[in-house]
């Protein structure tokens, strides 16, 4: 079964094939009316289940639109509708859904939910996000970088902020795509050592630098994410703001990166918190190309999973 669970679990050659497919599918759509079907309809007569235990804008719209553009149909299900893992075991849900649909995408909290769903499903499962990783986002980010600056191999990527699930997938990608990665943020919010060690074991230079100015020197790409989750209590929000304020991506910080460095944020953003509006709307920013490429990268992931 060809699941897409995490970047480090997929062969580098296959990852490169997914990126190349995404680029070619995007190019093929250039000039088409929005919403038009692809000339090639690889998902015709396919049904895709989109499961959302966590709410979403980009993930929901990009997967739904992507399936439809490729000629397929979607069934969008919320965690409340399914009672996933509560009214019915995850294993039984996986077995039942496999009788109805051809592909499952899940956006959930616990990584174990994703892994158990994949273990018992008889159809491919895609990780739309867990609390630990967010691989589809980073596939779109790599596509975006390469559209603007060419191959990402050998480049320096700097993450400023919280060592969260998006950073984790960047670390996975560093080892698979061959770029270097620097984390700058407070020690209390360091990434899991497992993610750092895995990238280093594959030859990537992964550094932790507390000084954000030193961290971004020579950076080809600077990335950040929201400082707080929608589920964090107010006390946690205030604490994180105090911890992360020195790591805000602003014009002063970007001035220490390479002159042609790119800036990315997976969105949604709290403008003028983790990044200033001047940076988000400025010459370095490719955040809306990045958001668009979720559509193209995920279409390529779905094709790869189904072998179509």
Give phi and psi for 50, each to the nearest 5. Answer: -115, 110
pLDDT of 175-212, one tens digit each? 999 999 999 999 999 999 999 999 999 999 999 999 99
| Residue 139: closest CA among 52, 12, 308 | 12
| Residue 140: closest CA among 297, 305, 308 | 297
pLDDT of 112-129, one tens digit each? 999 999 999 999 999 999
Q: Where are the alpha helices (DSSP H) in 129-276?
A: 135-149, 165-177, 193-201, 212-216, 234-244, 251-254
The whole-number pLDDT of residue 198 equals: 97
pLDDT at 251 over 70: yes
pTM for the full predicted model: 0.96
CA distances from 160 to 163, 212, 215, 302 (A): 8, 7, 9, 30
Q: Residue 231 — very low, low, confident or very high, per pLDDT cuts 50/70/90?
A: low
Q: Compute the mean pLDDT over every residue in the chain, rounded to the nearest whole number.
A: 95
The whole-number pLDDT of residue 151 equals: 98
Residues with a known catalytic role:
107, 134, 137, 225, 266, 294
Q: DSSP state, 136?
A: H
Strand partners, 271: 275
pLDDT of 133-189, one tens digit each? 999 999 999 999 999 999 999 999 999 999 999 999 999 999 999 999 999 999 999
The whole-number pLDDT of residue 79 equals: 74
pLDDT of 8-58, one tens digit each? 999 999 999 999 999 999 999 998 888 899 999 999 999 999 999 998 999
Which residues, at least 6 apart from 283, have a Cβ–Cβ distance to it below 8 Å? none
């Amino acid at each position: 079964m060809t699941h897409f669970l995490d970047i480090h679990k997929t062969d580098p050659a296959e990852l490169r094939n997914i990126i190349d497919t995404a680029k070619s599918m995007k190019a093929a759509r250039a000039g088409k009316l929005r919403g038009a079907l692809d000339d090639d309809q690889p998902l015709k007569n396919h049904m895709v289940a989109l499961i959302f235990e966590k709410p979403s804008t980009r993930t929901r719209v990009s997967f739904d639109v992507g399936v439809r553009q490729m000629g397929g149909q979607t069934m969008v299900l919320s965690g409340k509708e399914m009672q996933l893992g509560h009214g019915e075991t995850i294993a039984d849900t996986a077995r039942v859904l496999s009788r109805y649909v051809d592909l499952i995408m899940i956006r959930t909290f616990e990584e174990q939910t994703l892994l158990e769903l994949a273990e018992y499903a008889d159809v491919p499962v895609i990780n739309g996000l867990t609390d630990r990783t967010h691989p589809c986002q980073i596939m779109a980010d790599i596509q975006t970088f390469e559209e603007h600056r060419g191959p990402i191999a050998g480049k320096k990527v700097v993450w400023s902020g919280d060592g969260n699930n998006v950073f984790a997938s960047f670390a996975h990608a560093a080892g698979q795509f061959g770029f270097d990665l620097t984390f700058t943020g407070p020690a209390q919010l360091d990434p899991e050592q497992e993610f750092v060690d895995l990238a280093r074991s594959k030859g990537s230079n992964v550094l932790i630098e507390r000084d954000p100015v030193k961290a971004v020197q020579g950076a080809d790409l600077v990335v950040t994410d929201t400082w707080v989750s929608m589920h964090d209590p107010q006390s946690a929000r205030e604490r994180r703001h105090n911890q992360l304020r020195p790591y805000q991506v602003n014009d002063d910080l970007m001035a220490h990166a390479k002159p042609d460095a790119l800036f990315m944020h997976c969105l949604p953003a709290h403008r003028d918190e983790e990044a200033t509006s001047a940076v988000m709307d400025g010459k370095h920013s490719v955040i809306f190309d990045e958001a668009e490429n979720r559509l193209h990268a995920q279409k390529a992931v779905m094709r790869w999973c189904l072998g179509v």
